[in-house]
């Protein structure tokens, strides 16, 4: 293979996960609907970000940030003074949760072909915890009246919305997408290969 062909393959292999992550996050954000400062009952985009990191690794950090920023401009009110920090938090929190689980060896989301519910649940909780805590500091810092800022309600709403959003997206991928691919192409891809494709990413 020539140098030019190798370079083209490298560029394509780099761009594919970036584009895929960008499209998935923007699409899920569109489906989720309006974002509320007080928190959403279910916040699917954070689950989409977590899924993309699990699929493609930390290299898509820039694409995730651009997807969150673009989604905010296209679908939500983006005039808030601390909006860029919120985009950075939404990009960084799921990544920090996955890295934390890798460090403490809690990232085995499948045991053979069996889903390890506890690890997916812990990932959702940890992601929600990081995201909620960091967003709380951003909102409280930029709040016009910090004294009237209801910390307990904010944390409660964001934790619940983020946990549910993570679980919905991750379980949909694990319990619907993976079996669907296996059903549609039973000979070409084994369940073990699909599991590795979906939940053992380039963090390893």
The string of DSSP letters for 27-91 reads HHHHHH----TT--S--HHHHHHHHHHHHH-GGGHHHHHHHHHHHHHHHS----TTHHHHHHHHH
Is the CA virtual torsion 60, 31, 107, 164 positive or negative? positive
Report d(CA 44, CA 151) in Å as an integer.
Answer: 22
Residue 25: per-residue pLDDT: 96
| CATH numbers and ranges of domains, the chain | 3-199 (1.10.1760)
Q: Half-sphere exposure (CA, 13 Å, Cβ side) for 125?
A: 8
**Contact present, 22 and 56 (Cβ < 8 Å):** no
Please list the pLDDT of the chain residue by residue as tens digits (204 residues).
556 666 777 788 888 989 999 999 999 999 998 887 778 889 999 999 999 998 888 899 999 999 999 999 888 766 666 678 889 999 999 999 999 988 887 767 666 556 677 888 899 999 999 999 999 988 888 766 666 668 888 899 999 999 999 999 988 888 887 677 666 665 555 555 555 555 554 455
This prediction has a pTM of 0.84
């Amino acid at each position: 293979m020539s140098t030019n062909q190798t370079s083209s393959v490298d560029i394509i292999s780099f761009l594919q996960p970036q584009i895929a992550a960008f499209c998935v996050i923007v699409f899920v954000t569109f489906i989720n609907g309006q974002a509320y400062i007080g928190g959403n009952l279910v916040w699917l985009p954070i689950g989409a970000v977590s899924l993309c990191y699990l699929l493609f690794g930390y290299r898509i950090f820039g694409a995730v940030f651009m997807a969150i920023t673009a989604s905010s401009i296209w679908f939500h009110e983006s005039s808030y003074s601390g909006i860029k920090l919120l985009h950075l938090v939404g990009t960084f929190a799921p990544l920090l949760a996955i890295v934390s689980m890798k460090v403490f060896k809690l990232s085995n989301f499948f045991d053979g072909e069996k889903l390890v519910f506890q690890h997916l649940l812990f990932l959702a909780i940890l992601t929600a915890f990081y995201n909620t805590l960091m967003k709380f500091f951003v909102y409280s810092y930029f709040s016009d009246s910090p004294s009237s800022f209801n910390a307990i309600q904010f944390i409660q709403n964001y934790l619940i919305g983020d946990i549910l959003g993570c679980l919905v997206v991750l379980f949909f991928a694990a319990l619907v997408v993976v079996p669907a691919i296996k059903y549609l192409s039973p000979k070409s891809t084994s369940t073990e290969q699909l599991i590795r494709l979906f939940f053992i990413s380039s963090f390893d």
